Chains A and B, each alone.
Chain A
Amino acid sequence: EAQVTQNPRYLITVTGKKLTVTCSQNMNHEYMSWYRQDPGLGLRQIYYSMNVEVTDKGDVPEGYKVSRKEKRNFPLILESPSPNQTSLYFCASTPGGEGSEQFFGPGTRLTVL
């Protein structure tokens, strides 16, 4: 089944404790992206990657890192999480090209205390 998977689905952590949210897709898509969803703000793009070893900042990249060592994986790294990073995070992938539909993962609910 074609899908985007994220782990963990739920995470509660404390300020400053480094964490990684994994994202994997099995559709051989070139473009992958991370978003955060917050009430009243919709989805905002954090980082995106056009292909292996190519990553770019989205609208709200501060406090986040990403890597794209393999085509299928695009982990999101929070080196020193803070409470304002409490949010619902979505990973997405697309075959590429603007206008292409994005396939979203089920989301990761992160709480930073």
Chain B
Amino acid sequence: DQQVKQNSPSLSVQEGRISILNCDYTNSMFDYFLWYKKYPAEGPTFLISISSIKDKNEDGRFTVFLNKSAKHLSLHIVPSQPGDSAVYFCAASARNQFYFGTGTSLTVIP
């Protein structure tokens, strides 16, 4: 049973606009959440993370929001750039184990 879900397989956004990628989880024991970006033929690369005791973390153009009551997190990319086109994975960790979502393919249209 998938404990971390990304319900949107794909998303298209115009360059310069905001990209919002969503992630839902079921396990209330998760204590860290992370976002990874993946280009074809490469391994995932880390983007940003958030502890379960926080509700927002920002790093440059990337902001992650966590809503624990809804068991939902989102990644905001502002402004979106063509180089952001990739697959984005949401991940959660508990007791040294990691659980990933199925990924959302983001296309930023120039």
Which of A38-74 touch B at CB < 8 Å?
40-45, 48, 50, 56, 58-59
Task: Show the binding face of A for B, using Cβ within 8 Å.
Answer: 4, 31, 33, 35, 40-45, 48, 50, 56, 58-59, 90, 92, 98-99, 101-107
Residues in B with CB closer than 8 Å to A92 are: 43
> Is B45 on the interface with A (CB-CB < 8 A)?
yes
Asked if residues B32 and A104 are in contact (CB atoms below 8 Å), the reply is: no
Residues in B with CB closer than 8 Å to A44 are: 100
Q: Which residue of B lies closest to A50 (CB)?
A: B96
For A31, A42, A44, A103, the residue with the greatest tally of chain B CB atoms inside 10 Å of its CB is: A42
Q: Interface of chain A, helix or strand or loop or mixed?
A: strand
Q: Give the distance in Å from the alpha carbon of A105 to the alpha carbon of B46 in the complex.
A: 12
Asked if residues A104 and B45 are in contact (CB atoms below 8 Å), the reply is: yes
Asked if residues A42 and B102 are in contact (CB atoms below 8 Å), the reply is: yes
Q: Give the distance in Å from the alpha carbon of A98 to the alpha carbon of B32 in the complex.
A: 7
Interface string of B28-60 (1 = CB under 8 A from A): 000110101000011111100101000000000
Residues in A with CB closer than 8 Å to B103 are: 42
Q: Which residue of A lies closest to B100 (CB)?
A: A43
